[in-house]
Chains A and B, each alone.
Chain A
Amino acid sequence: MSSLGKLIRNENMKIYRRPRTWLMIAFLVLAIGLMSGLMKWDAGSDDHADWQQRLSQQNAQLQQELQDNEKLDADEKTDIGNRIKLNAYYLDHDIDPNELSLWNYVNTSASLTILVTILTVIIAADMIAAEFSWGTIKLLLVGPASRSKIMLSKYIATMGFALLLLLLSFAAAFGAGGILEGFGGLSRPELTIAANGAIRESSMIADALQKYGFAVISLLMYVTMAFMISAAFRSSSMAIAFSLLFMLIGNSLSALLSGYGWVKYLLFSNIDLTQYLAGASPLRPDMTLSFSILMLAAYYVVFQFVAWLLFTKRDVAA
């Protein structure tokens, strides 16, 4: 009987022995390099020498507006007050808020996890359908491994690939940031104003990891969906096409239809949990964080179950 570990090694061999996979990895690293270069180039066009003077000027202007403009409501007043407080804090602690540190690069790379998601979706959609396209499914299934075990090994290998890409994009951004700005800015804090008006220092790495964390949730959902689609199709190009299509039009579809009540039950309406962070507003006012988490969990279970049903119960006749 086959051990799961060996089956996973087989699936890994089939992923990493294909030149396509290495093109994807090179593409990702290149994209992060390019992004970092652009950030550096863009920041270089500003002059940072007189940042203290500019912050003081800005604060004076904000102060003026607070006094002169009588149409401001309470929210706007606290907002302006907070900005003044933050600027004063920067000046007191000699921190240039516009100076790039390597964390800025890591933070921006978190928005590139969409790329990681797309690449992993392609791999996932290919995972089962390709065996049918190649005709290798027959030899794969006729062996001392149950279909459930084969499917699990494929899913784990796919997730391993996603993890590799995530680590790689984090490391590439960290490296690029370190090379371009030096590793000195590692300990620089992220400053935010808490609800009670106090200034809070939090670590930049926590902020970056939070961004990555939200991205991983949508990655997990899209990849699992693609895996299910892969189990449904016998042609890998069809499976890839449909997975990417759903992923790319899903969000705009949800936004477009957000007027209807039932939209909140769509996967795409719940997949972005950052809509519940402070300062953002959810797609529909009646949606809550726990509702979205529940919906995502339900979709995840359904995707896995349908994929399992399709893969284990189907007759391989062709």
Chain B
Amino acid sequence: MSDPVLQLRNLTKTVGRRNIVDDLTFDIPAGEVFGFLGPNGAGKTTTIRMIVGLISMSRGEALIKGVSVRHHFELAMTHVGAIVENPEMYKFLTGYQNLVHFARRHEGVTKTRIDEVVALLGLQNRIHEKVKRYSLGMRQRLGVAQAILHRPSLLILDEPTNGLDPAGIRELRDYLRKLTKEEGISVIVSSHLLSEMELMCDRVAIIQAGKLVDIRSLQETRDSAQSKIVIETGDLPAAQRLLASAFDPSLLTISGIGQLELAADKSAVPHIARLLVSAEIDVLGIHAVQKSLEEQFLEITGGEMVV
């Protein structure tokens, strides 16, 4: 693994007596789309805003490419492009003037680079119009353009899909994929929408009540997903008694009217079918299902995930 693009060291935010973000320590590897996942109010936004200096850190440290945000803010920020929620632009300026505004803050962003980014995001037709006439989707694109002008190594997106319609979300996702591929940017994105993260991220950190619960690769999670077998039957008590004697009773749950669930592999289906038929219990259906990511994360966070 290459050098981490972001390192968090005991990052803590205390408001009153409560730790909104509590002692986060982990590294985010370069070249990935990394997600912060957690229910509303888990501290994702606070964490991200501490990383970009919008909120002060109570304790701990964030290092971007090894540069301390706390001690060398200006230098650390040269590596970062950010979109915090819906990017609000200066509505009385044109899209182009907005980009000039953000380009001036960095050294070495040329006119050619601005044009290049405008083209990359497909904004060239309306870039000289005032931003107040832009749709939300176009503003979002302009926000992305603003964030990548200076070729940052790290792009930070805080709840970027708030207020976007499904088409807009899809569009943003496509741009992000294009950016990671074409510009080699690492991306950190926060969201409370699992379905969205599932499509975007390589790896996610699950945060709950300000604490890190787990970091996992989505690919591995998918592969290791446990499966279960759902049995529909006409005689639930008899079926339950029979299966409890044949399998470990703790793997067996009643999941609906006349429906049993058994945590087991697909290969167990024939065995279960034979057992039930030989005991003359009516079988209405037997099928194997994989646990969805959603269910797995709900398990991890104790059912608190907002999806």
Residue A213, interface by CB 8 Å = no
Q: Convert A119-143 into 0s and 1s, putting 1 for each residue whose CB lies closer than 8 angstroms to a CB of B.
A: 0000000000000001110110111
By a CB distance below 8 angstroms, the chain B residues around A1 are 74-75, 78, 107
Q: Are B90 and A315 in contact (CB under 8 A)?
A: no
By a CB distance below 8 angstroms, the chain A residues around B90 are 14, 134, 136
Inter-chain CA distance A313–B73, complex, in Å, is 14
Q: Convert A222-245 into 0s and 1s, putting 1 for each residue whose CB lies closer than 8 angstroms to a CB of B.
A: 000000000000000000000000
Residue A202, interface by CB 8 Å = no
Q: Are B93 and A7 in contact (CB under 8 A)?
A: no
Q: Which bucket holds chain B's interface residue count?
A: 20 to 34
Inter-chain CA distance A211–B84, complex, in Å, is 49
Inter-chain CA distance A141–B80, complex, in Å, is 12
Q: Convert B174-204 into 0s and 1s, putting 1 for each residue whose CB lies closer than 8 angstroms to a CB of A.
A: 0000000000000000000000000000000
By a CB distance below 8 angstroms, the chain B residues around A17 are 92-93, 97
Residue of B84, B93, B143 with most chain A CB atoms under a 10 A cut-off = B84
Closest chain-A Cβ to B7's Cβ sits at a distance in Å of: 19
Residue of A nearest to B143 (CB): A139
Inter-chain CA distance A27–B105, complex, in Å, is 33
Residue of A nearest to B106 (CB): A144
Closest chain-A Cβ to B61's Cβ sits at a distance in Å of: 17
Q: Are A142 and B78 in contact (CB under 8 A)?
A: no
Closest chain-B Cβ to A179's Cβ sits at a distance in Å of: 35
Q: Are A145 and B92 in contact (CB under 8 A)?
A: no
Residue of B nearest to A316 (CB): B54
Inter-chain CA distance A273–B146, complex, in Å, is 48
Q: Report B87-106 residues with CB < 8 Å from chain A CB.
A: 87-93, 97, 100-102, 104-106
Residue B55, interface by CB 8 Å = yes
Q: Are B92 and A13 in contact (CB under 8 A)?
A: no
By a CB distance below 8 angstroms, the chain B residues around A93 are none
Residue A23, interface by CB 8 Å = no
Q: Report A263-317 residues with CB < 8 Å from chain B CB.
A: 313, 315-317
Q: Are B104 and A10 in contact (CB under 8 A)?
A: yes
Q: Are B88 and A142 in contact (CB under 8 A)?
A: no
Residue A18, interface by CB 8 Å = yes
Q: Report B33-58 residues with CB < 8 Å from chain A CB.
A: 46, 49, 52-56
Closest chain-A Cβ to B249's Cβ sits at a distance in Å of: 50
Residue A54, interface by CB 8 Å = no
Inter-chain CA distance A143–B109, complex, in Å, is 14
Inter-chain CA distance A136–B93, complex, in Å, is 12
Residue A48, interface by CB 8 Å = no
Residue of A nearest to B89 (CB): A136
Inter-chain CA distance A48–B55, complex, in Å, is 71
Q: Are B93 and A142 in contact (CB under 8 A)?
A: no
Q: With A1-B74, A145-B105 in contact, is A315–B54 under 8 Å at CB?
A: yes
Residue A6, interface by CB 8 Å = yes
Residue B117, interface by CB 8 Å = no
Q: Are B56 and A6 in contact (CB under 8 A)?
A: no
Residue B262, interface by CB 8 Å = no
Inter-chain CA distance A307–B87, complex, in Å, is 26
Inter-chain CA distance A160–B93, complex, in Å, is 21
Residue B77, interface by CB 8 Å = yes
Inter-chain CA distance A313–B78, complex, in Å, is 21
Q: Are B84 and A134 in contact (CB under 8 A)?
A: no
Q: Are B93 and A138 in contact (CB under 8 A)?
A: no
Inter-chain CA distance A13–B98, complex, in Å, is 10
Q: Convert A27-43 into 0s and 1s, putting 1 for each residue whose CB lies closer than 8 angstroms to a CB of B.
A: 00000000000000000
Q: With A10-B104, A10-B105 in contact, is A141–B54 under 8 Å at CB?
A: yes
Q: Are A138 and B85 in contact (CB under 8 A)?
A: yes
Q: Report A1-59 residues with CB < 8 Å from chain B CB.
A: 1-3, 6-7, 9-10, 13-14, 17-19
Closest chain-A Cβ to B164's Cβ sits at a distance in Å of: 16
By a CB distance below 8 angstroms, the chain A residues around B73 are 146
Which one, B55, B74, B80, contacts A315 given CB within 8 A? B55
Q: Are B104 and A6 in contact (CB under 8 A)?
A: yes
Residue of A2, A144, A315, A317 with most chain B CB atoms under a 10 A cut-off = A144
Residue of A nearest to B52 (CB): A142
Inter-chain CA distance A2–B75, complex, in Å, is 10
Can you name 5 extra interface pairs (CB under 8 A) apart from A10-B104, A135-B86, A145-B77? A2-B104, A139-B143, A144-B75, A144-B77, A315-B49
A residues apposed to B, CB below 8 Å: 1-3, 6-7, 9-10, 13-14, 17-19, 134-136, 138-139, 141-146, 313, 315-317
15 cross-chain CB contacts under 8 A: A1-B74, A2-B104, A3-B107, A9-B104, A13-B100, A14-B101, A18-B92, A135-B88, A139-B84, A142-B82, A143-B102, A144-B74, A144-B77, A315-B55, A316-B55
Per CB-CB distance, the 9 closest pairs between chain A and chain B, nearest first, are A135-B88, A6-B104, A316-B54, A144-B77, A138-B84, A315-B55, A2-B105, A142-B82, A143-B105
